[in-house]
């Protein structure tokens, strides 16, 4: 899979479909996901896009970083991999052993 791109500064009205529409002109979109707030159901203002090739991802990055998408200027960058494997780590009750 090609580079995953981070889109920051998205409008709260941006959906997966509008993000997909903004990038599909640069090639085949493997995925386009706007991150939603679980409690309000509203966009959190950022999302991720994966294109089918690195070249297409580079084209999106060059063309859309600092440009308007859905009425807002967006920041586009290569997404960083999740820290600690992406999960909510932790060992339950604070981890580690305690002696009493």
Residues 24-81 have pLDDT tens digits of 999 999 999 999 999 998 999 999 999 999 999 999 999 999 999 999 999 999 998 8
Cβ atoms of residues 66 and 38 within 8 Å: no
Q: What is the DSSP letter of 17?
A: H
Residue 5 makes CB contacts below 8 A (sequence gap 6+) with 48, 49, 50, 51, 57, 60, 61, 76, 77, 78, 79
- pLDDT per residue over 80-97, tens digit each? 887 765 555 554 454 444
Model pTM greater than 0.85?
no
Residue 91 makes CB contacts below 8 A (sequence gap 6+) with none
Q: How would you class 72 by CB atoms within 10 Å of its CB: exposed for 0-12, middle for 13-18, buried for 19 or more?
A: middle
- CATH fold of 4-81, please? Alpha-Beta Plaits (3.30.70)
Going by pLDDT thresholds of 50, 70 and 90, the confidence category of residue 12 is very high
For the chain, give every domain's residue range. Answer: 4-81
């Amino acid at each position: 899979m090609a580079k995953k791109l981070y889109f920051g500064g998205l409008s709260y009205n941006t959906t997966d479909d509008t993000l997909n529409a903004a990038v599909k002109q640069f090639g085949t979109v493997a995925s386009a996901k706007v991150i939603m707030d679980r409690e309000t159901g509203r966009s959190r203002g950022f999302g991720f896009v994966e294109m089918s090739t690195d070249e297409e991802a580079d084209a999106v990055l060059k063309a859309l970083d600092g440009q308007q998408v859905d009425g807002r200027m967006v920041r586009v960058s290569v997404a960083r991999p999740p820290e600690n494997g992406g999960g909510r780590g932790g060992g339950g009750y604070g981890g580690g052993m305690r002696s009493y």
